[in-house]
Amino acid sequence: MFNQDQQNRLYNASALGGGEINPKGSHAAQWTNLSAKDIKKIARRSLQVQFELVNEAPHLFSIQGVLDVKNEMRKAIKVEEKKGLKFDYKTKQLQSIFRNLKEI
């Protein structure tokens, strides 16, 4: 089982913990009202936390689960690099790498 800190990180990465979905009301209706950009943001945030947990405690996952998370992370990073994006660990959002080049 995950410890309390790991459970909190998973919750905060979710749509409910991130504030995109209200705990009261129909979750299905709220998901349909989210934009594609918000859904991608939630998925990427969740994938990042899953990847961190797989690396911290691989014994809590099945072998196939570890492989699936790592493969999804590779795909996500490859797509982000092609689009010139980088995941910012402080804000938990994708940021353009080209913005940083202007500052140099």
pLDDT at residue 79 tops 80 = yes
**Which tens digits make up the pLDDT trace of 31-62?**
888 899 888 889 989 999 999 999 999 999 99
Q: How far is residue 83's CA from residue 78's CA, in Å, rounded to a whole number?
A: 9
Number of domains in the chain: 1
pLDDT of residue 101: 52
Residues 14 and 42: beta-carbon distance below 8 Å: yes
Sorting pLDDT into bands at 50, 70 and 90, what band is 23? confident
- In percent, the amount of the chain with pLDDT more than 90 equals 36
Q: Which domain holds residue 54?
A: 4-103
SS3 90: coil
